[in-house]
Amino acid sequence: MNLPNKLTVIRILLIPVFILILALPLDWGTVTIAGTMIPVVDLVAAIIFAAASLTDLADGKIARRNHLVTNFGKFADPLADKMLVMTAFIFLVELGKAPAWVVTIIVCRELAVTGLRLIVVENNGQVMAAAMPGKIKTTSQMFSIIFLFLNNIFFANIHLPIGEILLYICLFFTIYSGVEYFYNARDVFADSFGKD
């Protein structure tokens, strides 16, 4: 197994650890960082999420730079990303830190685009590359999740809800990039809406 695939597997293995930290009735108290009080459980969860996100950043770059792209990587890398992000957002809803309606739209878009990618690969034999709006969506997702878990650390003292702002930026690019993906792949549905 090459290095990018190992990083993807590490990210997948971090997901159950992330779930256990948040799901078990753990109370490790709170810590104050930069004037912001944060439950230690949320801090640990944010660190795990950030570490897993860094493996996502690294594995794709290493795979492309060193020509180590594999079918396992094509399958597991985006799956691991979606599992990690969806898990984090669901816990943020449970913790009252993210609105359920926003997370529902994000989760539905992720599932729809994943399904679309499968159809495009089956019909055209090509993987849909991530466009810039999708990359902005992913980046804003990850930073939003971290700041929401950390109670807007570094911005709480100036009353700037950076986590929420990033969440709504993420929502905008989630919808925009989802529409763009479907518009650009509209030819794969031509057989469904043609003349009878």
Q: Is the residue at 194 inside a domain?
A: no
Q: Is the residue at 195 inside a domain?
A: no
pLDDT digit string (tens) for 148-165? 999 999 998 899 999 999
Q: Select the more confidently predicted residue: 95 or 71.
A: 95
Residue 45's domain is classified under what CATH number? 1.20.120.1760
pLDDT digit string (tens) for 71-91? 777 778 888 889 999 999 999
Q: Is the residue at 96 inside a domain?
A: yes
Q: Is the residue at 193 inside a domain?
A: no
Expressed in angstroms, the distance from the first to the final Cα of the chain is 49
Residue 9, pLDDT > 80, answer yes
Residue 196, pLDDT > 70, answer no
Question: How far apart (Å, rounded) are the C-alpha atoms in residues 150 and 178?
Answer: 28
Question: How far apart (Å, rounded) are the C-alpha atoms in residues 120 and 11?
Answer: 26
Q: Is the residue at 153 inside a domain?
A: yes
Q: Is the residue at 178 inside a domain?
A: yes
Q: 182 is in which domain, residue-wise? A: 3-186
Q: How many CA atoms lie within 13 A of 43 on its CB side?
A: 13
DSSP 110-141: HHHHHHHHHHHHHHHS-PPPPPHHHHHHHHHH
Output the pTM of the full model.
Answer: 0.88
| Nearest partner of 85 among 110, 63, 60, judged by Cα | 110
Provide the pLDDT confidence category of residue 173 given band limits of 50, 70 and 90.
Answer: very high
Residue 60, pLDDT > 90, answer no
Question: How far apart (Å, rounded) are the C-alpha atoms in residues 42 and 7?
Answer: 23
Question: What's the structural domain count of the chain?
Answer: 1
Q: Is the residue at 101 inside a domain?
A: yes
Question: Percent of the chain scored above 70 by pLDDT?
Answer: 93
Q: Is the residue at 191 inside a domain?
A: no
